[in-house]
Amino acid sequence: MGVRGVIFDVDGTLVRGEEPIAGAGAGLDAVDATGLRRLLVSNNPTKPPEAYERRLRRAGFAVDPSEVITAGSVTARYLSENHPEDEIAVVGESGLIDLLRAAGLAVDPLGGDASPRAPDVLVASVDREFSYETLRRCLQVLEDRSVTFVGTDPDVVIPAADGDAPGSGAIIDAIANVAGRDPSVVLGKPSESAREMALERLGLPPEDVLVVGDRLDTDVAFGERAGMTTALVRTGIAGATDPGAPGIDPDYVLDSLEGLDSVLDDLATS
């Protein structure tokens, strides 16, 4: 069958915090040696691709910003296409707010001291300053059923340098629970919006792409739903005791990216 492009997850697959994960360099080298196109797709909504280029360079990996898509990138594109003139309130960190403003969107943070102006859209994302007062404000905003509720990504838990931490999904779920309504869309992996953006960036059909990541529910589901080949690497969330995700089965399972060359060899000869 062969592949012509590889999509890598970042956190838990290539790096944890600022440190490279063992075997990650060998995996990237294997892709470069075969001349395959590559793309990094992260569910972190707080930083632009340029920040990933700097972060990965510090970890010893050379990456161009054009090779990076984040949940923030996907969210900016989705809002630009579907809510270009709307007032958007954001529960999230300054990096996401800056990214959305750079896309020309009318964005204000929603927090305890935020303006009471009624928004058309509420975007929920990871926020390390998330508070009871912010949750109360979200409840008030979403009582108006005409307000569109959007989540940046579904990751409830994310790998961090000092251990796993709550992610966007935890914030989204808290808001959805008190508001009694689910988001109209949750972006990032494995959403259709993220898949379309990634395949467009690679310029390849899904059957020519391998997805490699550490999560069944986002990375593997992201590839599986589009008809891509998938590989789960057990260096992040999917550790040795991972209970799995019903109905989601990777084509390959690796202990680290050091084994990626064997996957590429197998695909080239199958």
Cis upstream peptide for 250 (omega within 30°) = no
Question: Which among 11, 153, 155, 208 is annotated as catalytic?
Answer: 11
Phi, then psi, of 107 in degrees rounded to 5: -125, 140
Question: Which among 9, 153, 208, 217 is annotated as catalytic?
Answer: 9
Residue type at position 210: L
Which three-class secondary structure string do you get for the chain? CCCCEEEECCECCCEECCEECCCHHHHHHHHHHHCCEEEEEECCCCCCHHHHHHHHHHCCCCCCHHHEEEHHHHHHHHHHHHCCCCEEEEECCHHHHHHHHHCCCEEEECCCCCCCCCCCEEEECCCCCCCHHHHHHHHHHHCCCCCEEEECCCCCEECCCCCCEECHHHHHHHHHHHHCCCCCEECCCCCHHHHHHHHHHHCCCHHHEEEEECCHHHHHHHHHCCCCEEEEECCCCCCCCCCCCCCCCCCEEECCHHHHHHHHHHHHHC
C-alpha span between 224 and 161 (Å, rounded): 29
Active site residue 11: yes
Distance of CA 203 to the CA centre of its chain: 20
Q: Which residues are catalytic?
A: 9, 11
